[in-house]
Structure 1
Amino acid sequence: MAYAFSLGDVAFLRSPEGASALDACARLNAGSIADVTAARRTAGERFASAVLETVELRRNAVSKIDSPADWLFTGDALQQASAAPVARHRAARLAGRDVHDVTCSVGADLVELARVTRRCAGSDLDEVRLAMARHNSRVAGVAPALLRADALAPSTRETVVVADPARRDSAGRRAWRPADFVPPLDELAAVYAGRDLVVKCSPGIDPAAVPWASEVELVSLDGQVREACLWSAGLAGVSRRATVLRSDGPSWTVTDADPDDVGAAEPGEWIIDPDGAVVRAGLVRHYAARHGLWQLDERIAYLTGDRPPPGVRAFRVLESGAYREKELRAALRRLDVGRLEILVRGLDVDPDALRRRLKPRGAGELSVVLTRIGRSPRAFLCRAERT
């Protein structure tokens, strides 16, 4: 169970004594009895747990927050925080505006907003998280206005409202219905009707459940779909958008305003599995049209073509045919395959179970793409390549 920070904990962690204790305990582990004893000697019985929890959370935050070494977090707040590139992307769409983050938590999204907006405010009901947000803003070199307020009781006017409703209950169970978010998504939309509103949600949100959202944007980072972002009418540019962010390369976006005049045809030299944001946003054909690709089957998200898009991991087709497990096993033996990646769309096949049955034992490495074209199961033996 996550440690419950108090205002006293935050005050200590922000003090010179707390900073010294955090530095001294930076290599300790709360799972070690010896390390817990050492933390108690350094920070005292009262604050040892807060120090050890903060040390652990800072380690975990490296994958989300830029330079988190001096930040303060709660476990739940860190779990829900956007990765910095995703938060920066959202903030960039609001550059130069007056913005109020009405669920600012510990400030992970707030600091990115404060860097690019004209005026920025953050509020939350949780006094501990607000105290952490105040500290984190100072560490990040920004100074948003911070106040304790209920997200469902507007406390600013003529600002863009940004919200990130909690999607887990007090027991840590995930909430799937927008009505179960905290605050409830329908109430949030009603309270700010007529205002510019941006809401971060889980990528599985059903657009039909949020009719007020004029644009639904799916965002991925380094191949993993991170979130859906809902934009009200005054901020929307299109109805559906997929934004693909990369830590090590250029980012790009595709929308439903792009051409989508592609169909299905015979397989080309390559198979492309589009980024998950493109698939979830329903923009597979738009992406295909941009890159001169086509579909293997109109109902399946795999694309094919004779030249893959730049900067993606694509699959060069070596052999293909009807999918029969016995024949696939024989082909893998013939090609001396031992390391096998299995990708599946449109077929009821468990890749892990299939790999155990195939028992590849060779020295080589290949990828198998299993799918359906019409009613016919097909198998493609491929070599994965970064283009």
Structure 2
Amino acid sequence: MLAAEILERLVAFPTVVGTPNTALMDHVAQYLTQHGARVTRIVGPEGDRENLFATIGDPSVPGYILSGHVDVVPAQEPGWLADPFVLRRAGDRLIGRGACDMKGFDAAVLAAVPALAAMALTAPVHIALSYDEEAGCRGVPHLLARLPELCAAPLGCIVGEPSGLEPVLAHKGKAALRLVARGVTGHSSRPDLGHNAIHALTPALAAAVRLATDLAGGPRDARFAPDHSTVQVGTVAGGQALNIIPGHAEACIEARAIPGVDPTQILAPLSALDGIEADWLSDYPALALDADHPLAALVAGISGHAPRQAVSYGTEAGLFQKAGVPSIVCGPGDIARAHKPEEYLTEAELAGATEMVLALGRQLC
């Protein structure tokens, strides 16, 4: 089956982050099983979402993981010209939600499966598909916890996020925190009889702003823009009406950290503030692969592109690295198209990704 046909089918499953993905995984598992892959499905604690891990070749031999996520961001922007979950062609563009981020890579990997299955592989190729990456990489940790029983310690992992098929050696880590203040409602004419939750939250917001200012002073890593860790308050909500004392207020705050800095430690002071409830939403570590690591040379060879030092966005590669698997980012498309209406991947980019996967197989023969 052509990669574009597989992509068309994957896009048709509206696997928006935080929603069930069983139907898509049924489809993928059936396809992989038909081609002789060993398939394990790992249901998350939510019960309606799952990861999938498949192996082509001998799982007792160290091999390589091709990793992608199957969830997509919502597609409610008014800029879509047609149904975002029906792949359509415009010239060489394949347009649909997730076409670039990152069902295109998933489709390229799946399209290569029949050829990989026919190769005399001396080391296996594993396929790891995860859920809820767009919510802060919530799904893949459940897969990684099972990895030692699924295969021998892998030699490396290629995470196929959009990078123009340029191997990426590093990205920042991220942590997200929700802070909640609770008050006592009442009429605004008698603030002395209530407790204003928004007022109670403002010290936490001020502390977050101070953190952001302090981080601008370093430490620094010149591979990134900006070259330091960052903090931002992303959302603030609270109150019902101007003449009602707000009884609830909350803010969501994120930290993005350069390699060597733990993003959860950046936000830790905010999570310990008196009178504020803290709820960790997600976190994943930074990625840092040495430029002289064999995985960097391998992926440069099969992709046809020299490694890029770093990108600003985050991926699941940091979690694979933390689990002991050397990791790199390399996938088709441009991250600038992600999370936007009329998201697309070109047919040439899709073909290039498929060829990269086949080149990996040839390297292992």
- The verdict on a shared fold, with TM-score over 0.5 as the criterion, is no
Per the normalisation by structure 2, the TM-score is: 0.22
Which structure exhibits the higher relative contact order, with contacts defined as CA atoms closer than 8 Å and separated by 6 or more residues?
2
Per the normalisation by structure 1, the TM-score is: 0.21
